[in-house]
A and B are shown apart, each in its own frame.
Chain A
Amino acid sequence: MRRRWLINISIYISLLLLALCFLAPIVLMVVGSLKPDAKVLIEAGSLKAVLPDQLSLQNYSDVFTRVDFMRYLLNSLLISGSIVVVGLAVNSLAGYAFARMQWRGRDLMFALVLMIMIVPLEAIAVPLFYEVTLLGWRDTYIVQIVPFIANAFSICLFYTFFLGLPRELEEAARIDGAGVFRTFVSIIVPNAKPVFATVAILTFLMQWGAFLWPLMVTSGEAVRPLPLGIAAFYTLPPLQWGDIFAFGVMMVAPILILFLLFQRWFVRGVAATGIKG
């Protein structure tokens, strides 16, 4: 029994040490955002980085006077939000068609979806950039939303989930004379909340941090999302770390709050990507 006790104590100690390492950058950011700019860099190497002697919200108001933070935030919300909402509808319908309906070309199309799943955005970014240039879409919201609505991975997650639903659900609805679409909306969707939550969270997580694509296709501030905002703010002279960290805290706050509220779903969503493999 004593040995077991010793093992548990050593597990806690190693976890605590690792937790300190993982927490340090976050604490540095949050505390730095509350300190006078000049002190952030000077004190970064000392204990004062985490135990400041004076705190203020000055940096937060500075962010709003130095850049149009609200604009970046609303752009990010609009872009990520549209991709999530429209994506849920489009990909769940496709997943359902693959899982529960008979149609010509289904197997061929499903093979295509599986193939597309391994193509990362990076591998097609340049020709896609050329394509949207020809379409005249550069510097718009559309260019940041439309290409990412259909998602092979989301389709597969829906497909797998719908395959596992009992067939009796639909049969009961069909006897009542409901059409396919009505059956889907009123019977299938309410029974598939977990997969909708998983897909919504994964999609939002990916899109909120999108950097490469917006960097390639936008040049003005008007339609740029938060990740480009912080990259630009960080190079905007004078270099004021307190302001940059205040920007960072406000940028991560929405997704962090979502994460803390719906933790179980985040973890389940990420774990789902692994089970699929």
Chain B
Amino acid sequence: MPEKAPFPSVDDKKPAPAARPMPDAAQPPDGPAPASPPASNVFVAPGKQSTPRGDQHPAQPAHPGVPLSPPGIVPESDVRLHSPAAATPPAGRPRQDDLGDLPKGYGDGRLVAMVRDPATLFIYWDLSAQQVEQAFSDIGPSRAVLKLWNARHGAGELVREAEVQLETRGWYLRDLPVGSELRVELWAMGERGARLLRAARPLRLPPGLPSDQLEAFYVRLDLNQPLPRDGIAGKRALEYVGGPPMEWDRRLDSRHRSDSHPSSGSMPWSGTLPNRSGSAGSGEGQ
């Protein structure tokens, strides 16, 4: 039986698990990003917003504890985490900077592609009204299109074409070929012609898989010597005795492990140290 608490009235409603591992599945298909900052009125007026009655335990404590990462793996206590709470400044006026608000955009003709994961790019653009107008003039009924080209073998291979709404100013392109080197272009496509609005710098998606290049090169870099200014190149192959253990690739796949939360005893070398009472070492609550 649990001990009786020394204080009255504890509301033990289980808080929302805000810090659970981030969902990776069920991503929507290519689609727009919100791409706008939250409204400037983000501050909650000072007050007792999280404590309806002074003597009552709020269901969702305002205090989240020190933020920790990695966010995908959290201690047991953390998964019972509470929900967001406003960071309410105490009473009293802060220094008034009159800083205004962030602009919606800069209209500087920017197109930027960023890697989210091995199969997903986030692309944002920042175009002036004049740039848009010029691009779409005289081409008849038209649409804005993102084109992804394979950048490794010239500009010949079109990987993906996606119609976008320019006003969203950002777009996610998903299910792309992992490990590919891509160049993103934003086009105005009309019935009477097409114009390139902007091109982003080429980028490369991570491979997401172990390399099939197995040739190993080794170099010796003594700590008491500065690193070579122009980097290093493999000098010679060394053949160490012994190869990688069986099922090496699978066991090195940390994502598999993180997602499935296996017990710590699944490795070939794993064991359980009996405790003094002979039960599992990781104890109760496991």
The finding on whether chains A and B are genuine partners in a shared complex, rather than unrelated, reads: no
